[in-house]
Amino acid sequence: MATKSDNADSKSDKSKESLNDAWAIRPCHLYKEEYDDCTSFKARFHQYFIFGKDTDCSQWLTDYRNCERYQQSNGNDVAAGKAVIKSEEERRKIRLRAHFANDTWQKRKEPPLDWAAPLPDWMEKRNENTYLEVKQKELSGQAAPQGEERSLCTIM
């Protein structure tokens, strides 16, 4: 038989429920900025030029409102937090769709075995006495730092 304290414990467990992906929620003001940018005159002109119509910006506003609810409840409004996370996952999925659909290049699991091999002689010779080589030698301690020569040009 359930008692009042059991019911209170189950309610507190629900309020203590945390989100595993809470790190994916951006600061709330960024959702508002994205919405304002999306609905600006410049953005609307760009959308019309590229797509021939206005894009739907309502998701940014919805995410802003859910983020505010989640933040103001100190993380207790789990439904609002989950809605923002789901929206972020969908946004990420759309952004990476072309990457995952690309079958032109074979994706590597690890770098090539000779990725740190020395450069060919012709490339070493070409890079001699370049600014980057001099600075690299200075940083590695192979050469003493050189004082920079300054010249002043005066036009009279």
Residue 60 Cα to chain centre, angstroms = 17
Question: What does the mean pLDDT of the chain come to?
Answer: 85
CB-CB contact of 32 with 62 (8 Å): no
Rounded mean pLDDT, 66-74: 94
Q: Name the pTM for this structure.
A: 0.61
- 127 CB-near residues (< 8 Å, 6+ apart): 119, 133
pLDDT band at 151 (very low <50, low <70, confident <90, very high): low
